Amino acid sequence: MRPALSVLRQAWRNPAGRVGAILLLIITLSALAGPWFLPDPRAQPDILAGSLPPGLGHPFGTDQLNRDVLARVVAGARVSLSVALLAVGLSVTIGAAVGLVSGYWGGVVDAGLMRLVDGALAIPRLFILLLVLATMERVPLPALIVLIGATGWFATSRLVRAEVLRIREETYVRAAEALGARRRHIILRHLLPNTMGPLLVAATLGVGDVILLEAGLSFLGLGVQPPTPSWGSMVLDSKEVLVSAPWAGIFPGLAIVITVLSANLVGDALRETIDPRSA
């Protein structure tokens, strides 16, 4: 396993990956710094003055409640990015844990866990989430994050398990076992570090998936709840004013496209670095 720094450095040499990383950085920075230079998106709405087209005062225009679309897109970036990062962190952790246990223990544990994963993979993630969210009275943001995270680890666990099955037979693992190393030591010291590469790729590509998923749920009214701005719910709100104020929906959608594209570009660059055959 090459040190993380050299992987990142090599991925940086990939022009598409570099573009993606720079875009992600810009999006993150503006999401963090937004509140300092943009009007408060929660500012008292003015229904009578609503739906101004993009202009000097409001570069992205205002929505039907006269809220600044740019300010809401930036505030939505905070929400979408935090949901995506936390949910992906959760699902990668669960996926890695299940994959390691399943791959290293083998036997009944492995068979049981993998059949469970097979079954879970037969139900598209969106439907699992719809079934749970549709019964909930309110969807607090932390609950949404946990639910999205808890439904995203199935494929990751398979990936990690396959890696473990391969590494388990390597000489150094055999040597450690012969020296009497404990399972815990072997898993944490030998197996986990060697699955970091594929995990990193899965996590980066997972960020794009989760942003799209959260936007979709919010578009169906089951994700981030108003008045918290989210890109998906902004597109939903703009449906009513599609003809009179298309900018209210076009800009949040563009934000989704650019962010997901950047995350995927970085993910692809990392994959090509870690596994050059996939290029």
Contact, 47 vs 65, CB < 8 A? Answer: yes
Task: Compute the distance between CA of residue 100 and CA of residue 191 in angstroms, rounded to an integer.
Answer: 8
Helix (H, G, I), strand (E, B) or coil at 189: helix
- Which two structure tokens, joined as six digits, stand for 173? 């693992």
Is 21 an interacting residue with respect to other proteins (CB under 8 A)?
no
Interface residue with other proteins, options 260, 266, 270, 274 (CB under 8 A): 260
Is 125 an interacting residue with respect to other proteins (CB under 8 A)?
yes
Site string for other proteins, 205-244 (x = CB under 8 A): ---x---x--xx--xxxx---------x--x--xx--xx-
Residue 72 CA neighbour count, 13 Å, CB half: 33
| Cβ-based neighbours of 51, under 8 Å, separated by 6 or more | 61, 62, 63, 64, 66, 241, 244, 245, 248
Contact, 69 vs 76, CB < 8 A? Answer: no
DSSP state of 187: I
User: Total residues contacting other proteins (rule CB under 8 A)?
Assistant: 47
Is 98 an interacting residue with respect to other proteins (CB under 8 A)?
no
Q: How far is the CB of 52 from other proteins (least distance, A)?
A: 18
Contact, 219 vs 233, CB < 8 A? Answer: yes
Stretch that binds other proteins, among 49-57, 65-73, 78-86, 257-265 (CB under 8 A): 257-265
- Which two structure tokens, joined as six digits, stand for 74? 């930036």
Question: Nearer to other proteins by C-beta: 31 or 147?
Answer: 147
* One-letter identity of residue 44: Q
Stretch that binds other proteins, among 62-70, 160-168, 169-177, 258-266 (CB under 8 A): 258-266
Q: How far is the CB of 239 from other proteins (least distance, A)?
A: 7
Q: Which residues in this chain contact other proteins in the complex, by CB under 8 A? A: 115-116, 118-128, 130-132, 134-137, 208, 212, 215-216, 219-222, 232, 235, 238-239, 242-243, 246, 249-250, 252-253, 256-258, 260-261, 264-265, 278
